[in-house]
Amino acid sequence: MQRIRLRYTKRGRLRFTSHRDFQRAFERALRRAEVPMAYSAGFTPHPKVSYANAAPTGTGSEAEYLEIALTAPRDPERLRVQLDESLPTGLDVVEAVEARTPGFADRLTASVWELRLDGVDPAEAARAVAAFNGAETVEVQRLTKNGMRTFDARSAVVKLESVPAQGSAADGPTDRPCAILRLVVRHVTPAVRPDDVLSGLRAVADLAPPVPAAVTRLAQGLFDEETGTVTDPLAPDREAGGAAPADATGAAAPAAAKAQV
């Protein structure tokens, strides 16, 4: 059995697809591409697909990951192209490597997020960031299936900073104030999401964007304590197989032949 690990994106309007919507679209893509999938046993067999840390509905992402199991070997790059062409534009398969190392899920310990706050002055955002970083704890509330829960949003945040708007991953209007925040957060329990950090900024500095923030996950992987960076989780598999590193820009394959939404 061959296992392939894929990195895919959620861009544009497709950021509003739920994880279940993506699962259905991806299983259709597997059938269209005639991928020789391995299936689970039992009365209702399912293709063996393992998803990891899916981004919340409404957020974009450049770094979503999954793993598939095949009954016959396939070239990872050719498989990537076939799956990418079978998915709608915005759900783009940008990287595929053969799984050659164990513990992939253990390498997804942190995420890098970008938060675009349209209508917020960058200086105001910088003051709010300073207040958040200076706090020992920042308690926020979130409604869960078990009711309202209060937890600390500060302890999971490794870095929160205000960055220049130029080069932002989230496109938007430029004729009004706009603040861009860069966030590195550990994957903890309970999970601290970008909207929890926004709630924390409102709690400590009364920062309330006039429109919903545009949130994009830029990367996820193992947090390196020495460098303070999030490393590429597919790097060990590429190195074990002698493959060349992926494009650092995360650019997808041409979308001209992509399926229509």
How confident is the prediction along the chain (261 residues), in pLDDT tens digits per residue?
Answer: 899 999 999 999 999 999 999 999 999 999 999 999 999 988 889 999 999 899 999 999 999 999 999 999 999 999 999 999 999 999 999 999 999 999 999 999 999 999 999 999 999 999 999 999 999 999 999 888 888 989 999 999 999 999 987 654 545 555 789 999 999 999 998 899 999 999 999 999 999 999 999 999 999 999 998 888 999 999 999 999 876 555 444 444 444 445 443
The answer to whether residues 199 and 124 belong to one domain is: yes
The answer to whether residues 66 and 165 belong to one domain is: no
Contact of 35 with 83, CB cutoff 8 Å: yes
In a domain, 139, yes or no: yes
The answer to whether residues 118 and 172 belong to one domain is: yes
The answer to whether residues 62 and 163 belong to one domain is: no
The answer to whether residues 76 and 11 belong to one domain is: yes
Q: Hey, what amino acid is at 189? A: T
Does 88 sit behind a cis peptide bond, omega within 30 degrees of 0 on the bond before it? no
Contact of 65 with 50, CB cutoff 8 Å: no
The answer to whether residues 153 and 84 belong to one domain is: no
At 117 the pLDDT is 97
In a domain, 254, yes or no: no
Q: Could you give the angle at which helices 194-205 and 122-134 cross, rounded to 10 degrees?
A: 90
The answer to whether residues 143 and 174 belong to one domain is: yes
DSSP 25-64: HHHHHHHHTT--B-B--SSS--B-EEEESPPPTT-EEEEE
* Beta strands in the chain, from DSSP E residues, in sequence order: 2-10, 49-52, 60-70, 93-98, 110-118, 139-144, 147-152, 157-163, 178-186, 214-221, 223-224, 229-230
Q: What is the CA radius of gyration of the chain?
A: 19
The answer to whether residues 132 and 206 belong to one domain is: yes
Q: How far is 121 from 84, CA to CA, in rounded Å?
A: 38
In a domain, 160, yes or no: yes
Residue 87: CATH number of its domain: 3.30.70.580
In a domain, 250, yes or no: no
In a domain, 252, yes or no: no
The answer to whether residues 82 and 144 belong to one domain is: no
Three-state SS at 138: coil
Domain span at 43: 2-102+233-241
- pTM score, two decimals? 0.87
In this structure, the number of other CB atoms found within 10 A of the CB of residue 103 comes to 8
According to DSSP, the residues that pair with 61 across neighbouring strands are 10, 217
The answer to whether residues 89 and 120 belong to one domain is: no
Residue 132: CATH number of its domain: 3.30.70
Contact of 25 with 88, CB cutoff 8 Å: yes
Quote the number of domains for the chain.
2
Q: How far is 3 from 57, CA to CA, in rounded Å?
A: 27
The answer to whether residues 123 and 43 belong to one domain is: no
**Tokens standing for residue 80:** 């990537």
In a domain, 247, yes or no: no
Q: Could you give the angle at which helices 19-32 and 76-86 cross, rounded to 10 degrees?
A: 110
Q: How far is 207 from 63, CA to CA, in rounded Å?
A: 28
In a domain, 156, yes or no: yes
The answer to whether residues 116 and 207 belong to one domain is: yes
Burial of residue 235, with CB atoms counted within 10 A of its CB: 0-12 exposed, 13-18 middle, 19 or more buried: middle
In a domain, 256, yes or no: no
